[in-house]
Structure 1
Amino acid sequence: MDKRKVILIHISVWLIFIIGGICRDYFPDKFAGESVFNYSVTQFGYTIVAAICFYGSYFWVAPQLILKRKYLVSFLLTVMLFALVVFARYALEFWFLKPVMNYDNYFDKIPTISYYLTNVFYYYFPGYFVYGLLYFFAESWYKNNQRQQEMQQESLAAELAFLRAQVNPHFLFNTINDIYTLTYQKSEQAPEALLKLSVMLRYMLREGNAALMPLNREVEYLENAIALQKIAAKGDAYINFDQEGYIGEQPVASLLFIAFVENAFKHGVSDDPDHPVQISLKADNNSIFINVYNKKSHGLEDTTGGIGLTNVRRRLELMYPGKHELSIEDRDNSFRVALNLQLN
């Protein structure tokens, strides 16, 4: 919390103490012989003594006792504070209230030192001294808890950044090789493919670094990936991408769905018109459902990468705890992954 706000809160609390004391003692005619101003000044003076006890406990004793656990130092500081409060109480009454305000709480008698010692011991210390310790303890606990939360958030952000950085480059590398081939062959599709790849790389390097992105931008990224796969396959790629519902500005984890699509391209069959790669996306303001199905390729396994779906699992655990259902159906001839994501 901002220090100025903390100071304002402290001042407000002490003012409430002063006003409460005035309302409790003056208006029931307990001090009818005094003016409101004089009694307010008197109440303010006694509040200063209470504040000395409170802040002495908070600034002097509590750090040594609670944080550093220096018990002897804490005891000596407590004795010093006790003496200071006794002196402040005496000075207030006989150096200010009586000569300046003409206020005498003892009817021209001077109480003994034992009275002040007893009064401070039984009134100020069980109250304001203990309050100072408790306030310091509560504040330390709050700051420590807040610091731990910040560290956890920083650790979470670092891990998510690391996971995003591991988005499988296999697809992009293959695409670059395909575009090189198209360029070498002077294909008319080369400029279009290069433009789509440029858009994808710009998204990954700039915008994709954000934790959340609008759903429509993620869908655009998927569409470009599918278009590049079809170009690379020279017309022999059969991929259906069905979209249903509202595809708009809903925030979603960036580069989350591409792992499902890349997995289908990498390990599946996309050149079989009877078994096309099926990608379906349904969305509304509160949820997103994506389903990716592909026929399995039983050719030579590609051992590169291999972290895509594991990456997605971890990101979902971090960003959508208790708000997602990930289903993976791995059969002999087919593979299906389905994700149901709750946004709110």
Structure 2
Amino acid sequence: MLQWILKYKLYHIPFWVAYHLMWLLINTDSLNGSWNYLFGGEIPVKFLGYIVFQAVGAYFNLYFLIPRFLSKGRYGIYFILVVLTILVITALITGGYYLNAYLSAKSFQEIFGREPSEFMYFFSRMALPSTAASMTLAMSVKLAKNWLQTEREKLTLQKENLETELKYLKSQINPHFLFNTINSIYVLIHKNPDLASESLASFSDMLRYQLYECNDPYIPLGKELNFIDDFIQLESLRLYENQTELAFDLAQHLEQSVQIAPFIILPFVENAFKHVSRDKNQHNFIRMKLNVSEQKQLHLSLENSNGKATGKSSSGIGLSNVNRRLELLYPEKHTLTVRDESGIFKVQLKLELH
């Protein structure tokens, strides 16, 4: 039953009845006068004419004129046709006064307090304002409904686009990580096969984490830091001959409720290992400190020596990728500062965690 009512828009009938009851109350100035007019024994032809003709005019405007002319930018023709529709509907409603008197046992003067010759009075003072108001109200409701629907569709499309972009950015992380790690193990194979074998075992565990444990939008921060710790151990093997200072202070004993988007921190660590200086005549280092405040705000400080031979510290897709992910996942909830000062590449990240 409800579906049938919604399908044929029968719920519009109470709206039009209520709307015209309001106009009737305004014109009669009393509930008693309205009651006598509607149920005093005679058929309220004029009242029914208001309901029927104004509803016809409103729907003609909503379902024919607006789609055919207004929506297509034909504003001049639309305005003319709307005015003509209002005038025709007003004329038909005004005719209802005369039909009401014709079907009644009372005279026109007795019913309406006016002479039959005062057609323009009923046309301009009674029927026209009500018709114009009903057309305007119906059009306003329709346009507001269309605007809300358009906004909902726009928000849905925007959300889908953001989700697609996030999936694309995350898909870039895995190949980027794989390329760097495989390259590191390849270097170790020639220098130290035993370390290369150990690295492959660690690499296998890290791949398992990537494939099975970080598919949710947010994961416990502790798991992410364990992965980063494994990555640091793997990359450290490659620097064992370079006398590089490695200092990593990661937060311990974190609450399981503290969560973070996967692979937000990893690109910064990757970048540090990739571009750390390897000059035996200078002090080479990577220093990282990460902690979480009681307000669940993550603080990351990472810096590495950046020798002349390494080129730009921010090369590749890693840093630009993670910067874009931060903008999408943590809008107005993060602060990222990246600087290259006097051969030292510095990263400062503050992040409000979930």
Q: TM-score, normalised by structure 1?
A: 0.70
Correspondence for 2:92: 87
Q: CA deviation at 1:164?
A: 2.8
User: 1:113-132 alignment to 2 at 5 Å?
Assistant: 114=120, 117-118=123-124, 122-132=128-138
Which 5+ residue runs of structure 2 have no aligned equivalent? none
User: 1:137-152 alignment to 2 at 5 Å?
Assistant: 137-152=143-158
Correspondence for 1:30: 33
* Alignment match of 1:60 (pick from 52, 59, 64): 64
What is the aligned-residue identity percentage? 22
Greater mean alpha carbon deviation, residues 83-92 or residues 304-313: 83-92
The answer to whether the aligner puts 1:314 opposite 2:324 as a matched pair is: yes
User: 2 CA distance for matches of 1:57 and 1:158?
Assistant: 40
- Change in Cα spacing, 1:323 to 1:88, as seen in structure 2 (3 Å) is same
Cα offsets for 1:32-59 (capped at 9, x unmatched): 6467698998867644444333333333
Checking the alignment, whether the CA contact within 8 Å between 2:306 and 2:345 is kept in structure 1 is: yes
Checking the alignment, whether the CA contact within 8 Å between 2:53 and 2:89 is kept in structure 1 is: no
* Alignment match of 1:267 (pick from 263, 269, 275): 275
* Alignment match of 2:303 (pick from 287, 293, 297): 293
Checking the alignment, whether the CA contact within 8 Å between 1:296 and 1:335 is kept in structure 2 is: yes
Report the secondary structure of 1:243's partner residue: coil
Checking the alignment, whether the CA contact within 8 Å between 1:291 and 1:339 is kept in structure 2 is: yes
User: 1 CA distance for matches of 2:302 and 2:340?
Assistant: 12
Report the secondary structure of 2:251's partner residue: strand
Q: CA deviation at 1:201?
A: 3.4
Letter of the 1:316 counterpart: L
Q: CA deviation at 1:105?
A: 7.9
* Alignment match of 1:331 (pick from 315, 318, 341): 341
User: 1 CA distance for matches of 2:164 and 2:63?
Assistant: 37
User: 1:204-243 alignment to 2 at 5 Å?
Assistant: 207=215, 210=217, 212-230=218-236, 238-243=246-251
Greater mean alpha carbon deviation, residues 298-307 or residues 56-65: 298-307
Checking the alignment, whether the CA contact within 8 Å between 2:58 and 2:134 is kept in structure 1 is: yes
Greater mean alpha carbon deviation, residues 10-19 or residues 61-70: 10-19
Checking the alignment, whether the CA contact within 8 Å between 1:241 and 1:280 is kept in structure 2 is: yes
Report the secondary structure of 2:292's partner residue: strand
Report the secondary structure of 2:332's partner residue: coil
Greater mean alpha carbon deviation, residues 127-136 or residues 142-151: 142-151
- Change in Cα spacing, 1:91 to 1:122, as seen in structure 2 (3 Å) is closer
User: 1 CA distance for matches of 2:215 and 2:84?
Assistant: 62
- Change in Cα spacing, 1:118 to 1:304, as seen in structure 2 (3 Å) is closer
- Change in Cα spacing, 1:151 to 1:128, as seen in structure 2 (3 Å) is same
The answer to whether the aligner puts 1:340 opposite 2:340 as a matched pair is: no
* Alignment match of 2:204 (pick from 195, 209, 221): 195
Q: CA deviation at 1:282?
A: 1.6
The answer to whether the aligner puts 1:17 opposite 2:19 as a matched pair is: yes
- Change in Cα spacing, 1:97 to 1:171, as seen in structure 2 (3 Å) is farther
The Cα RMSD (Å) is 4.9
Greater mean alpha carbon deviation, residues 143-152 or residues 52-61: 143-152
- Change in Cα spacing, 1:96 to 1:229, as seen in structure 2 (3 Å) is farther
The answer to whether the aligner puts 1:161 opposite 2:167 as a matched pair is: yes
Cα offsets for 1:81-122 (capped at 9, x unmatched): 6424543664698489957xx999864689566565435763
- Change in Cα spacing, 1:312 to 1:104, as seen in structure 2 (3 Å) is farther
Correspondence for 1:172: 178
Correspondence for 1:254: 262
- Change in Cα spacing, 1:274 to 1:83, as seen in structure 2 (3 Å) is closer
User: 1 CA distance for matches of 2:276 and 2:103?
Assistant: 95
Q: CA deviation at 1:74?
A: 5.0
Q: CA deviation at 1:202?
A: 0.8
Cα offsets for 1:52-82 (capped at 9, x unmatched): 3333333333344532233336524642464
User: 2 CA distance for matches of 1:50 and 1:308?
Assistant: 64
- Change in Cα spacing, 1:117 to 1:12, as seen in structure 2 (3 Å) is closer
User: 1 CA distance for matches of 2:170 and 2:292?
Assistant: 24
Report the secondary structure of 2:264's partner residue: coil
Correspondence for 2:140: 134
Which 5+ residue runs of structure 1 have no aligned equivalent? none
Correspondence for 1:75: 80
User: 2 CA distance for matches of 1:273 and 1:96?
Assistant: 106
Letter of the 1:161 counterpart: K
- Change in Cα spacing, 1:311 to 1:202, as seen in structure 2 (3 Å) is same
